[in-house]
């Protein structure tokens, strides 16, 4: 069992209910190998954490950018809370060392673990919210410390700009073709599905994107498509 006391010390957070913290790191595959384990997997906590995460970031952007319209705020929020960003933060916090995974899942590739760590980050936020007595302020402080500082890099890289719109503009101008998107693969339960979609010009697959919703993966595919085609 991972040393969750070490994680609490590193994050300077004290969980009253240690079972909640353990559950946040428990992947469903772990339960398949340990039938007597008393914890549930982390998917319900991730569902709650996703909502808390979006609210905290929405309020932050609403307060900091009073002149911006809904569309721009939405794009900035999407860039902050997408799968790759949450994975990046979870990796920085070494969440991977505390994961409860089956033997098989421990051997999975880095790409496969991205979705697991992103979900774990959401589950941690959900657990933190519940443990601290509906602790919105605690979650707010945590996200402002670890996630919000990534915003300047997002703005510098223009990650908040709608990649699908840009890709379509370039495709129409340079290729005289309208791009279309297709789901290539999906897995996981209904409330925590993962998708891989491709962006196509005609019958040609240009690039793929991965994420937790069709909208997210299409944005990722378009962004990767811009790089693949050399369209800046």
pLDDT of residue 191: 67
List pLDDT tens digits, range 73-116: 988 898 889 888 999 999 999 999 999 988 877 766 566 678 89
Domain count, the chain: 2
Domain that holds residue 219: 163-229
Residues 153, 68 share a domain? yes
pLDDT of residue 36: 64
Residues 54, 141 share a domain? yes
Q: pTM of this prediction?
A: 0.74
Q: Which of 43, 82, 122, 131 is catalytic?
A: 122
Average pLDDT over residues 206-214: 90
Q: pLDDT band for position 1 (50/70/90)? A: confident
Answer whether residue 133 shows pLDDT above 80: no
Residues 86, 11 share a domain? yes
List pLDDT tens digits, range 136-150: 999 999 999 999 999
Is 122 one of the catalytic residues? yes
> Minimal CA–CA distance to 93: which of 118, 62, 71?
118
CA 201 to chain centre: 28
Rounded-to-integer distance, Cα 67 and Cα 75, Å = 15
pLDDT of residue 24: 96
Rounded-to-integer distance, Cα 22 and Cα 165, Å = 42
**212: helix, coil or strand?**
coil
Residue 178, domain CATH: 3.30.160.20
Is 67 one of the catalytic residues? no
Residue 90, domain CATH: 1.10.1520.10
Tokens of 190: 């209904």
Tokens of 94: 């070494």
Residues 167, 151 share a domain? no
Q: Is 149 exposed, middle or buried (0-12, 13-18, 19+ CB in 10 A)?
A: exposed
Residues 190, 142 share a domain? no
Tokens of 216: 């997210």
């Amino acid at each position: 069992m991972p040393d969750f006391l070490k994680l609490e010390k590193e994050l300077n957070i004290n969980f009253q209910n240690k079972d909640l913290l353990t559950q946040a790191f428990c992947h469903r595959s772990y339960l398949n190998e340990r039938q007597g384990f008393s914890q549930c997997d982390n998917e319900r906590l991730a569902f709650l954490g996703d909502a808390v995460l979006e609210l905290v970031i929405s309020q932050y952007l609403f307060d900091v950018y009073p002149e911006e319209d809904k569309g721009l705020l939405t794009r900035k929020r999407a860039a902050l809370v997408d799968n790759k960003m949450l994975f990046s933060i979870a990796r920085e916090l070494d969440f991977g060392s505390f994961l409860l995974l089956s033997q098989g899942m421990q051997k999975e590739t880095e790409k496969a673990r991205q979705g697991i760590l992103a979900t774990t980050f959401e589950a941690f936020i959900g657990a933190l919210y519940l443990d601290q007595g509906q602790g919105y302020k605690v979650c707010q402080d945590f996200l402002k410390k670890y996630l919000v500082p990534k915003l300047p890099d997002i703005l510098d890289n223009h990650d908040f700009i709608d990649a699908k719109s840009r890709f379509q503009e370039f495709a129409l101008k340079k290729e005289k073709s309208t791009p279309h998107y297709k789901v290539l693969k999906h897995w996981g339960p209904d409330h925590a599905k993962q998708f891989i979609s491709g962006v196509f010009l005609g019958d040609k697959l240009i690039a793929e994107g991965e994420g937790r919703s069709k909208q997210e993966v299409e944005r990722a595919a378009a962004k990767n498509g811009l790089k693949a085609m050399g369209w800046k």
